[in-house]
Structure formats: structure tokens, C-alpha cells
């Protein structure tokens, strides 16, 4: 019992700290560079603290972990088998919060582009998606 609580708390702490400079983020940034985009990183004053901001295009990019944001139809978006009482609402909240964030950008006249962690691994798909910004 004690162990499962501490494990739960540990996961909560881990998820609260949004990791920066993860491999998928770096991949997306270098792809943007190659495509000639100019961008900024991390504008803390924008809703949801986007990973990449392209002010010229009024586009923000979120590089989403397939698990944390439950990428639909993705094999990485598994629901944990243990601690369901903890995980199910938590993952649901992530999704709901992101809906809110998207709505805020829509109202601001900005576009939101989501790059999934698994997409960052497929160069062709990534380039295709990033080219949509222009
Ligand atoms: Zn995925």
C-alpha cells in the first residue's frame, strides 16, 4: 500500500515537470530550421506554454507525448493497467485542458499545430505537417 502511494506521487511529480528539450522537440526544431522557418521557444505568457512559437504565422506548436495526451489510435497511448483510479481522470484532464487551450488560441486568431511524439520520428510526415504552416 505504502509503495503504491509513493509510486503514484512520484508519477504525479514527474508529470508536473514538463520536460524541455526532449528528443522529439529537438527533431521538430531542426526540421523547422531546415525548412527556413524562424521561431521562438517557450513563450510563457501564451496559453499552455507552447513548445515552439512562430509569431510571423501566428502559429504555436505543441510537441505532444503520445501517452500523456492519449494520441488517438496510437500504440503508445496505452492506458496503464495499474492505478486506473489515478490515471484515467488524469489523462482525461490533460485532453480536456488542451481543448481549452485550443479554444483560447482560436479566439486570439492563432493556429495550433500538434506534433505527436511518434510523428517526430517519421521525417517525411513531419516535413509535410510543418509545410502546412506556410
Ligand atoms: Zn502517437
CA 74–ligand 1 middle distance (angstroms): 5
User: Is pLDDT at 1 greater than 50 in this prediction?
Assistant: no
Q: Give the whole-angstrom CA distance, residue 134 versus residue 85.
A: 43
Cell numbers at 5, concatenated: 502511494
Question: Residue with C-alpha cell 528528443?
Answer: 23
Residue-wise pLDDT tens digits, 29-79: 999 999 999 998 877 789 999 999 999 999 999 999 999 999 999 999 998
CA 104–ligand 1 middle distance (angstroms): 24
Global pTM?
0.81
For residue 36, is it left (φ>0), alpha (ψ between -120 and 50) or beta? Answer: left
Predicted pLDDT at 16: 45
CA 65–ligand 1 middle distance (angstroms): 7
Amino acid at each position: 500500500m505504502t509503495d503504491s502511494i509513493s509510486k503514484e506521487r512520484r508519477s504525479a511529480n514527474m508529470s508536473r515537470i514538463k520536460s524541455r528539450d526532449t528528443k522529439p522537440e529537438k527533431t521538430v526544431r531542426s526540421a523547422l530550421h531546415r525548412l527556413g522557418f524562424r521561431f521562438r521557444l517557450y513563450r510563457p505568457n501564451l496559453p499552455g506554454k507552447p513548445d515552439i512559437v512562430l509569431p510571423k504565422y501566428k502559429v504555436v506548436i505543441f510537441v505532444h507525448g503520445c501517452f500523456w495526451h492519449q494520441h488517438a489510435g496510437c500504440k503508445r497511448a496505452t492506458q496503464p493497467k495499474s492505478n486506473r483510479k489515478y490515471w484515467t481522470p488524469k489523462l482525461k484532464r490533460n485532453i480536456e485542458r488542451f481543448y481549452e487551450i485550443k479554444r483560447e488560441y482560436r479566439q486570439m486568431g492563432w493556429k495550433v499545430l500538434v506534433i505527436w511524439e511518434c510523428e517526430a520520428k517519421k521525417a517525411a510526415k513531419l516535413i509535410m505537417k510543418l509545410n502546412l504552416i506556410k
